[in-house]
């Protein structure tokens, strides 16, 4: 889940990170007041979730409160990648001498969190990695041992940075790591971190992403405080009503994942997931000429209730003729529990499972129990001897009649 | 036997055993999906809306004296008991 910049900065502030003076403006008069309080030049930034704000005209500078009001009015009217800003962040304009990049994310290959630091901030870190790899340092963190500031110091020092700058950057990087760990983030990035002419450091822009699964854990302590609702989706376009209903399903209880759906125009509803399987299945359905009505995720051993509610949401979408229930081999999700949920959802929607479920292919834990249940309801099921691709083909064939 | 029904799972507690407050407490404690609760009089009661969440762990069957709790899979007719 992506945070708006002003929310990300609020989280960083909680860990003691130094930020420019400022606030958010809902209307031009607010921007004028913030600029007056700051008493100098300000920068105004559109609060949207997509990148490319500068290029799109979503970032403006103002020397006076009157200019700030005009700039704010323009930004509030400007859509960026189909998103209207939720507000405008107004901050003191900093006199920057040099820019740095600090980041923490997961290294999927090493299977460890990693700190990334560069003395070439303000541009894409991928670009720096390609053109100036010697300006990037990476140090992995342990998932067993607690984090120590010393590790941040090692990371900064490995770029040849010394003296007061080493100490100051170490402090900010350590605060960023603590933010990453405290809020179960998947990405914490400060880019750029500005070194001001007086030698101090201030966060100019940042980007934080929270692991979706961790939202519930932080809902009451942090997300409520930021005004982020439990069913608020954070993606590059406004969610459809169908997608919002899906998100609500995921919140019915804490068990497993079911309900993150993205809507399409097709007639085959998909209840899919597990270990990257959802993408493979979605592609396979299309390859065989099928038209998915949705993309979704289910896994992590959802409750019967959750699987049932997800099925009902998918079947409620106009134009859905049948559903395909396909997953990779599961070990931590019970086949029989998903089977119960799906069958119940179909029955409660007023349909015959044997007719409505084109194919059920989830091999894995408790599959024997699941298959007994499916047999009772006359549902076409298959085990792991049938590939996900073949299951998708069978579903497409059935829906074609 | 006191009987309750759901779509997939049926749980039965022998009426005599259901009156045992100690057993009612134990059943409420062991069931991972809250299918049992102790009612106002301390008797074992079944939470109907949770029945289909039964994970077939048999903890309730083991917690009760032999033959006093039975869990039946309605889709296959098999019963878990001891
Ligand atoms: S078998 Fe397990 S889940 Fe089912 S009712 Fe007994 S204790 Fe609860």
- In 3-state terms, what secondary structure has residue A144? coil
Q: What are phi and psi of A374, to 5 degrees?
A: -65, -35
| Cα A74 to the center of its chain, rounded Å | 28
* pLDDT per residue as tens digits for the range A206-244: 999 998 778 888 988 888 888 888 777 776 566 788 888
Mean pLDDT value across residues A297-304: 91
Residue B47 has pLDDT above 90, yes or no: yes
Write out the two tokens for A391.
């299951």
Mean pLDDT value across residues A189-196: 94
Distance A35 CA to ligand 1 centre (A): 63
Predicted pLDDT at A274: 62
Residue A269 forms beta bridges with which residues? A323
* pLDDT per residue as tens digits for the range B10-39: 999 999 888 899 999 999 999 999 999 998
So what's the ipTM on this one?
0.93
Q: In angstroms, rounded to a whole number, what is the distance separating the alpha carbons of residues A330 and A25?
A: 48
- In 3-state terms, what secondary structure has residue A111? coil
Interface probe for A, chosen from B56, B75, B77 (most Cβ of A below 10 Å), is B75
Helix (H) or strand (E) holding A358: strand A357-361
Q: In angstroms, rounded to a whole number, what is the distance separating the alpha carbons of residues A77 and A93?
A: 22
Write a three-state SS string for chain B. Answer: CEECCCCCEEEEECHHHHCCHHHHHHHHHHCCCCCEEECCCCCEEECHHHHHHCCCCCHHHHHCCCCCEEEEECCCCCEECC
Vertex A315: Cα angle to A314 and A321 (nearest 5): 115
- In 3-state terms, what secondary structure has residue A350? coil
Q: Do B55 and A334 touch (CB under 8 A)?
A: yes
Interface probe for A, chosen from B7, B56, B58, B78 (most Cβ of A below 10 Å), is B7
Which residue in A304, A369, A376 is closest to B53 by CB distance?
A304
- In 3-state terms, what secondary structure has residue A193? strand
User: What residues of chain B have any CB closer than 8 angstroms to a CB in chain A?
Assistant: 7-8, 33, 52-53, 55-56, 73, 75-76
Write out the two tokens for A294.
């949705």
- What residue segments make up the domains of chain B, in order of their start? 9-80
Work out which ligand 1 atom sits closest to the CA atom of B58. Answer: 1
Q: Domain B9-80's class?
A: alpha beta
CB B30 within 8 A of CB B11: no
* pLDDT per residue as tens digits for the range A165-189: 999 999 999 999 999 999 999 999 9
Residue A264 has pLDDT above 50, yes or no: yes
Work out which ligand 1 atom sits closest to the CA atom of B55. Answer: 3
Distance A62 CA to ligand 1 centre (A): 66
Q: In angstroms, rounded to a whole number, what is the distance separating the alpha carbons of residues A251 and A163?
A: 49
CB A236 within 8 A of CB A282: no
Q: CB-based contact (8 Å) between A346 and chain B?
A: no
Q: In angstroms, rounded to a whole number, what is the distance separating the alpha carbons of residues A117 and A158?
A: 9
Q: Name every chain B residue with its beta carbon within 8 A of the beta carbon of A303.
A: 33, 53
* Residue tagged 């930034």 (tokens): A45
Category of A111 on φ-ψ map: left (φ > 0), alpha (ψ -120 to 50) or beta: left
DSSP-derived letter for residue A125 is H
DSSP-derived letter for residue A41 is -
CB A352 within 8 A of CB A315: no
Residue of A nearest to B74 (CA): A373
Residue A92 has pLDDT above 90, yes or no: yes
What is the percent of chain B where pLDDT is above 90? Answer: 80
Mean pLDDT score of chain A: 92
Predicted pLDDT at B2: 46
Q: Where are the alpha helices (DSSP H) in A78-138?
A: 125-131
* CB proximity list for A157: less than 8 A, separation 6 or greater: A166
* CB proximity list for A178: less than 8 A, separation 6 or greater: A15, A147
DSSP-derived letter for residue A220 is I
Q: In angstroms, rounded to a whole number, what is the distance separating the alpha carbons of residues A330 and A367?
A: 9
Q: Name every chain A residue with its beta carbon within 8 A of the beta carbon of B52.
A: 304, 340, 344
What distance in Å separates residue B61's CA from the closest CA in chain A?
19
Which residue in B8, B33, B76 is closest to A340 by CB distance?
B8
In order of start, what are the domains of chain A with their CATH numbers?
A: 22-92 (3.30.1490.20), 96-226 (3.30.470.20), 241-400 (3.40.50.261)
- The reported pTM is 0.62
Mutate to test the pocket of ligand 1, among B23, B26, B71 (most ligand atoms within 8 A of CB): B71
Predicted pLDDT at A86: 92
Predicted pLDDT at A221: 86
- In 3-state terms, what secondary structure has residue A321? coil
Question: CA dist A154 to A143, A147, A149, A380, B55, Å?
Answer: 18, 12, 9, 58, 49
Q: Are strands A294-299 and A257-263 parallel, antiparallel or unpaired?
A: antiparallel
Q: In angstroms, rounded to a whole number, what is the distance separating the alpha carbons of residues A258 and A302?
A: 7
At residue B3 the predicted structure's pLDDT band, cuts being 50, 70 and 90, is very low
Predicted pLDDT at B5: 55
Helix (H) or strand (E) holding A250: helix A241-250
Helix (H) or strand (E) holding A34: helix A28-38
Work out which ligand 1 atom sits closest to the CA atom of B56. Answer: 1
Interface probe for A, chosen from B51, B53, B71 (most Cβ of A below 10 Å), is B53
Torsion of the alpha carbons at A330, A336, A338 and A343, rounded to the nearest 10: 150
CB A104 within 8 A of CB A115: yes
């Amino acid at each position: 889940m992506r945070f708006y910049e002003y929310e990300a900065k609020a989280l960083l502030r909680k860990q003691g990170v130094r930020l420019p003076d400022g606030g958010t403006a809902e209307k031009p008069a607010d921007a004028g007041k913030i600029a007056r309080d700051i008493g100098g030049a300000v920068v105004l930034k559109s609060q949207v979730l997509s990148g490319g704000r500068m290029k799109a005209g979503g970032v403006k500078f103002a020397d006076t409160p009157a200019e700030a009001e005009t700039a704010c009015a323009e930004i509030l009217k400007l859509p960026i990648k189909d998103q209207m800003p939720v507000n405008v962040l107004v901050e003191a304009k900093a006199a920057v001498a040099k820019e740095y990049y600090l980041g923490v994310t997961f290294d999927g290959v090493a299977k460890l969190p990693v700190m990334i630091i560069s003395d070439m901030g303000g541009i894409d870190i991928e670009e720096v990695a390609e053109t100036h790899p010697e300006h990037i340092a990476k140090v992995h963190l342990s998932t067993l041992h607690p984090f120590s500031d010393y590790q941040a110091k090692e990371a900064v020092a490995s770029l040849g940075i010394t003296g007061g700058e080493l100490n100051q950057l170490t402090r900010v990087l350590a605060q960023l790591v603590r933010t990453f760990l405290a809020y179960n983030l998947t990405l914490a990035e400060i880019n750029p971190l500005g070194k001001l002419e007086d030698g101090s450091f201030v966060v100019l822009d940042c980007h934080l992403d929270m692991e979706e699964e961790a939202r519930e854990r932080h809902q009451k302590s942090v997300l409520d405080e930021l005004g982020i609702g439990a069913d608020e989706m954070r993606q590059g376009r406004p969610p459809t009503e169908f997608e919002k209903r899906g998100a609500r399903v995921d919140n019915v209880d804490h068990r497993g994942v079911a309900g993150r759906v993205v809507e399409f125009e097709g007639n085959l509803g998909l209840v899919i997931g597990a270990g990257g399987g959802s993408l493979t299945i979605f592609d396979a359905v299309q390859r065989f000429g099928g038209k998915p009505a949705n993309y979704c995720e289910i896994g992590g051993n959802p409750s019967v209730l959750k699987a049932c509610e997800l099925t009902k949401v998918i079947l409620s979408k106009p134009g859905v003729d049948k559903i395909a229930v396909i997953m990779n081999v599961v070990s931590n999700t019970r086949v029989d529990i998903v089977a119960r949920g799906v069958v119940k959802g179909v029955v409660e929607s007023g349909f015959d499972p044997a007719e409505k479920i084109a194919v059920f292919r989830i091999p894995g834990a408790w599959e024997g129990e699941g298959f007994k249940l499916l047999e009772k309801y006359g549902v076409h099921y298959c085990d792991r001897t049938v590939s996900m691709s073949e299951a998708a083909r069978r579903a497409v064939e059935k829906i074609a009649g | 036997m006191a009987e309750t029904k759901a779509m997939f799972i049926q749980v039965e507690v022998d009426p005599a055993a259901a009156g045992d407050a100690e057993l009612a407490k134990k059943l409420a404690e062991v069931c991972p999906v809250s299918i049992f609760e102790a009612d106002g009089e301390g008797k074992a009661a079944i939470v109907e809306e949770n029945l289909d969440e039964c994970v077939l762990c048999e903890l309730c069957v083991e917690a009760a004296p032999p033959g006093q709790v039975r869990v039946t899979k309605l889709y296959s007719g098999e019963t878990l008991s001891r």
